[in-house]
Amino acid sequence: MTSDRLFPRVHRPFRFRTAEGLLRAAGALGMDLPFDGQVDRLLQPGRIASRDVPNRIAVQPMEGVDGNHDGSPGDLTFRRYRRYAEGGSGLIWFEATSVVPDGRPNPHALMLTRDTLGSFRALVDVTRVAAKQAFGSAHCPFLVLQLTHAGRFSAAPGLPRRACANPYLDGAEPALPLWQDAELDALEEVFVDRVRLAVEAGFDAVDIKACHGYLASELLGAHTRAASRYGGAFENRRRFLMDIVTRARESVPGALIAVRLNGSDCVPYPHGFGMAADGSESLDLAEPCALVRELAAGGCCLINVTAGVPRLASHVGRPFDRPAAGSPVPPEHPLVGEARLIALAAAIQEACAPVPVVGTGYSWLRQFWPNVGAGVLRQGMAAFIGLGRTAFAYPDAARDLMTRGALDPKKCCCTCSRCVERMRRQVCTGCAVHDRALYGTT
């Protein structure tokens, strides 16, 4: 039997009991998957700007859909970040937090304003205290707040707008109105003000979200946006993001700026960022690499690399066993997606060195993600290993690595997409398998 039959490139669920089986499947697919038998590198300290970070494990910004009506963190929000802190991750990247009401992707999304500032300050305090109580005063996780505007994915009735026409995302519904340049100019000011509030709240760094088709991300791919300071040429498409980063650095003393960036939208040109100009499905990282070099030169301290537009093809940024209800089975083996995400992070890390990069998409690897993550760190392909769905399912994974040297396979995320289904239904989101009492019944 040929290796293609043993390990076809078509989608297959995770069925690996041994590292050898995983590596054999990767090899049959033509992939040299980074892998280390020892995972100590994950537990070594990292550094961001002038700050020490306890270890190289990062909680990714997963939306919990559990904020209050005014955008302040709810009880479940506090519970979630307390568990992350008690779980030992060295870097905690707080979820997408809207800067204005019409930028919220769901009615329960977090939103930072002067009125909600106190609750965010309390969330930071609770997170820091929980970490110190669990690991001692020397353990101080690095906290990043992600600021965003959902753009065309806003849940505000009648208010969603798009940066440009996009046949892959517009669908059959009446076309959304376009953002006007003057509106984008004004929104930049709001972002800078919210950076100031995030610093006041006590976060170590502030992320300007530029991924997954949200506004700043969509603008990066707005090749067809005509007669606009924010579309067409690369200099214009990256203007919104770079203006915010530059002005925040100039206007907010002490602000450390991060960016979570799509290495590629995986949407064919001219409707996506980081794609070959021939309109094929091939990636072209010339612009993403140019952008991160510019971000690094402008003082950006941290880059988090992801890919794709989840509303269009969620497997691109998070390989899974089971698609969310209503979504198709992906046309590729999950290991193909894993390899693509690792390669994207490696290319961006090389382009923006010495600024550290957080890699993405490791949850599908189950108990073997620490080994792959350690291999990525050893080869300098990223500086931190980020976990999103795993953070929902297994918030104390870092602590188990510290105390046991390995993960418990029974506690790992099974990539069933039920958390994504909850998010899409706009109900409080977490792990329906391992946190069943809260998230497994509705």
In a domain, 5, yes or no: no
In a domain, 269, yes or no: yes
pLDDT for res 172 = 66
Beta bridge partners of 145: 94, 206
Of 350, 191, 187, 211, the C-alpha closest to 255 is 191
pLDDT for res 1 = 26
Question: What is the DSSP track for 140-161?
Answer: --EEEEEEE--GGG--STT---
In a domain, 395, yes or no: yes
Enumerate residue ranges in the chain where pLDDT < 50: 1-7
Q: For 324-362, give one letter per residue: b (16+ CB within 10 A) or e.
A: beebeebebbbbbbbbbbbebbbbbbebbeebbbbbbbb
In a domain, 6, yes or no: no
Give the start-end residues of each E strand in 46-136: 46-48, 51-53, 57-59, 91-98, 110-111
In a domain, 96, yes or no: yes
Backbone angles phi, psi at 385, to 5 degrees: -110, 115
CATH number, domain containing residue 83: 3.20.20.70
**Rounded-to-integer distance, Cα 438 and Cα 415, Å:** 18
* Owning domain of residue 184: 14-439
pLDDT digit string (tens) for 30-61? Answer: 999 999 999 999 999 999 999 999 999 999 99
pLDDT for res 157 = 72
pLDDT for res 37 = 96
pLDDT digit string (tens) for 150-201? Answer: 999 999 877 789 999 999 999 866 789 999 999 999 999 999 999 999 999 9
In a domain, 123, yes or no: yes
Number of domain units in the chain: 1
pLDDT for res 43 = 98
In a domain, 87, yes or no: yes
In a domain, 1, yes or no: no
